[in-house]
Structure 1
């Protein structure tokens, strides 16, 4: 799906460059093409609810490096698989087979650079494969060195699931590695017991029993956090890599559905930062191409004129800079710098809201250490602080949308009165931003979801929006900091 879009995108870039079309024309063409496919508007929250009763994962594979001919390069390939066959009941149809074939490249995006070694630390990372219907495979990987003596090549253990719970699957992969070191034959029975276990509800724990030679029966405890949105993200790594100012510029670029490329020298940094920055968009969901770690052989995808968030390893940067990529933000996560940018990234967000958000993030350590921030059974940590800060940002920006939902005079359907919604915001900067943001697929999908549900099922954003409107009958441009006083 990604490769198809990239090839089609390159053709479109060429034809439009010849015709001198503007960026607006390209966006219009892209939106029209996606509307024809009618992809479902997907959210992590909804997926987790819909998949609640399903098994923890659908597939487990081991990807190894095999020497290619000619030359001394290596190619990744699946050498073990559990269950042995991809059935219709487990991963669906032919498209599943195509995605299965793509997994080795993403497990070893740098396969040509590997040489046998005697020492290589284990590394956990993840990537996402998206189907044409918007369905997603979350692929959780752990790169390990097989047991043995002398120089060896690493292998990657990969769990494929429809569920976005990074920490839970990272714990399972650590247990897989422990059993692999004792005896490779212990892995399949362990994964069978995991597959048969139910998916735990948010805030709940399940136990999985398995036999381990020398230890007897062992019990593995798998626990999920209460806030399921934050299970697959770590904001700490993102904030360590990027200064707050640059992070907000990346955030603003993604809100306008621009093209963004992350560069780093480690797979886990690319993976964690990619997932974390998209989590900041809640309650909106990135609907476009997202490849946390792009294999070197697929760099041409970056030539697509459509929105994307890509990650590439540092050795790929020179080749990326040689490609004809239009209007892109290239972010070096290791050096906290922009390699390439459009230039207006700092002027996209409404100035007062941006300043308030920046203050919260820069003072995060002081806020977390304040007396009284952690009370009762609630845990005030970095993830909840960052999440609340960005939720408050969106509440103040678009939280009044429900006041402008009504029946259309022409079609009789329940829809957003767009102009009254935009003009009702008291901040001129917010109105100018909304003029652009309302044209994105993220906003269109969010509103379409509200139009269909008519207020059913309230997530964190809806709860905060109701609280905000109750305390501020008229939206206030300066109410952001007040809304964060009750954090934790």
Structure 2
């Protein structure tokens, strides 16, 4: 299926809205830009996500949501609740640039407070008309004697702490042991719901947990923040990852029977509750190596240097698990590349690996991964992302010859690293 990110979007953002709420009334759109935006179906959905439930409103809060278009491509909504949570600034874009758009919203808030609607309109127009920059290119927006600076993120890099707001929030909310439990549950495609009374913590952690699955992508229901009027979505019997604001927890009692086998993650108390034993199902040496890579001193040391130790730890765990998939790729002269499941199961030496890999064959997230890699190879494209690089290093260290020689006739084309949830199913 490939990535759900729209390639080469024409603009930095699609539209901006200000949504207001007062006196217990339904939220309403009080400002929008540009006036010419025509997709009213999307516009009318925004207030439900901007105010998913009653919140405490004691401080400014940044959070996000996701809405797909009819083809499954993602629109990302970035929100800023003002203190008191009576106003929400929201910007919608095809670009998953969390840090950049939160800065844009903070800038909009400052200009709004200055009482300069003409200057604000000019600023929004400047951002709207600005070319989409290449990765790592600095951007400066000047309007009404105000300047905003940010740098376009590089999707080929692993998320880092403290640079990546989602991963940083996840690191602060859950300890390494609980991150491992969530990771193992996602690899079993469980029903997982997370709770927090902070919207930024809730949505950031859900995006971060999915990002740590790279190069796999979650293929089921993905709702970073669930509007309260559809709380019954938690009763779905299909796999999901859903974020629920803590003020809705009392309503979960209505769904208690439906949630018995779901994995519950309380981000405010660093607690993971599950009736499953998913972590122990992973091969013991994968778990052992992951624990070693996630030691507190190693993570803290990384924050002063590269900052990617946390994301690299989970990437290496997946390299140990599925990095041998190329051993199972077969190609006869003049024929397309195919995948041999038995060879994949035996691409790792021990029985515990064989059992686990056999189970992975039925997972949609693994099927999508294999399908995407094979389609790229058969199209003459060799993916050379950081996962492939780490898989080659692992193979070399364990005495295996390089797998690239299997497909010498194929062109090499680096593919950017995408760290995003691929599918949102919202009833």
| Displacement after TM superposition at 1:448 (Å) | 0.7
Give the aligned partner of residue 225 of structure 2: 293
Which runs of 5 or more residues in structure 2 are unaligned?
A: 402-427
Q: Is the 8 A contact 1:41 1:134 kept in 2?
A: no
The aligned counterpart of 2:44 is 101
Q: Pick the structure with more helix per residue.
A: 1
SS at match of 1:75: coil
Pick the structure with greater CA Rg. Answer: 1
Q: CA RMSD in A?
A: 2.5
Against the structure 1 CA distance between its residues 453 and 343, is the aligned structure 2 distance closer, same or farther, given a 3 Å change threshold?
Answer: closer
- Residues 251-266 of structure 1 aligned to structure 2 (within 5 Å): 251-266=183-198
- Does the Cα contact within 8 Å between 1:141 and 1:158 map onto a contact in 2? yes
The number of aligned residues is 391
Q: Following superposition of structure 1 onto structure 2, how do residues 371-390 of structure 1 map, counting pairs within 5 Å?
A: 379-381=305-307, 384-390=308-314
SS in 2 for 1:140: strand
Q: How does 1:164-175 map to 2 (within 5 A)?
A: 164-175=96-107
Q: Name the structure, 1 or 2, with higher relative contact order (CA <8 Å, separation 6+).
A: 2
1:201-250 CA distances to partner (integer Å, 9 max, x unpaired)?
22221222211xxxxx3332220344455386532321222222221111
Where in structure 2 are the equivalents of 1:106-125 lying within 5 Å?
A: 106-111=49-54, 120-125=58-63
2:193–2:262 CA contact under 8 A, matched in 1 = yes
Q: How does 1:174-193 map to 2 (within 5 A)?
A: 174-183=106-115, 185=117, 186-193=119-126
Structure 1's 417 and 408: CA in aligned 2 closer, same or farther, altered over 3 A? farther
Q: TM-score, normalised by structure 2?
A: 0.85
Matches within 5 A, 1:63-462: 63-67=19-23, 73-87=24-38, 96-111=39-54, 120-145=58-83, 154-183=86-115, 185=117, 186-211=119-144, 217-226=145-154, 227=156, 230=159, 233-323=165-255, 324-326=257-259, 327-338=261-272, 340-363=273-296, 365-366=297-298, 368-369=300-301, 379-381=305-307, 384-407=308-331, 413-454=336-377, 455-462=381-388
CA distance in structure 2 between the partners assigned to 1:197 and 1:386 by the alignment: 34
Shift of 1:274: 0.7
- Residues 335, 408 of structure 1: alpha-carbon distance in 2 compared, 3 angstrom cutoff: farther
Summarize deviations over 1:407-432 as a string: whole Å, max 9, x none: 489x9542211111112211322222
| Rounded Cα–Cα distance in structure 1 between residues aligned with 2:93 and 2:393 | 35
Identify the residue that residue 416 of structure 2 maps to in structure 1. Answer: none
- Structure 1 344/369 Cα, relative in aligned 2: closer, same or farther at 3 Å? closer
2:158–2:312 contact (8 Å) kept in structure 1: no
Aligned 8 A contact 1:233 1:279 in 2: no
Q: Distance in 2 between matches of 1:120 and 1:85?
A: 35
Q: Is the 8 A contact 2:325 2:347 kept in 1?
A: no
Aligned residues of 1:202 and 1:228 also touching (Cα < 8 A): no
Q: Deviations along 1:15-56, whole A, 9 cap, x unmatched?
A: xxxxxxxxxxxxxxxxxxxxxxxxx43255xx4xx22x6211
Bigger drift between 271-280 and 178-187 goes to 178-187
- TM-score in terms of structure 1 length: 0.74
Aligned partners of 2:338, 2:46: CA distance in 1, in Å?
A: 41
User: How big is each residue's C-alpha offset from its partner over 1:154-191, in whole Å with a ceiling of 9 and x where there is no partner?
Assistant: 21010101111111111111111110110150322211
Contact 1:205 1:224 in 2 (8 A): yes
1: CA distance, partners of 2:46 / 2:148: 27
Q: 1:367 to 1:420 in 2, by over 3 A?
A: same
3-state SS, counterpart of residue 190 of structure 1: helix
Structure 1 alignment gaps of length 5 or more: 1-39, 68-72, 88-95, 146-151, 212-216, 476-488
| Partner SS for 1:444 | helix
SS in 2 for 1:278: helix
Instruction: State the 1:193 CA deviation.
Output: 0.4
Q: 1:469 to 1:201 in 2, by over 3 A?
A: same
> SS of 1:263's equivalent?
strand
Distance 2:183 2:206 in 1: 11
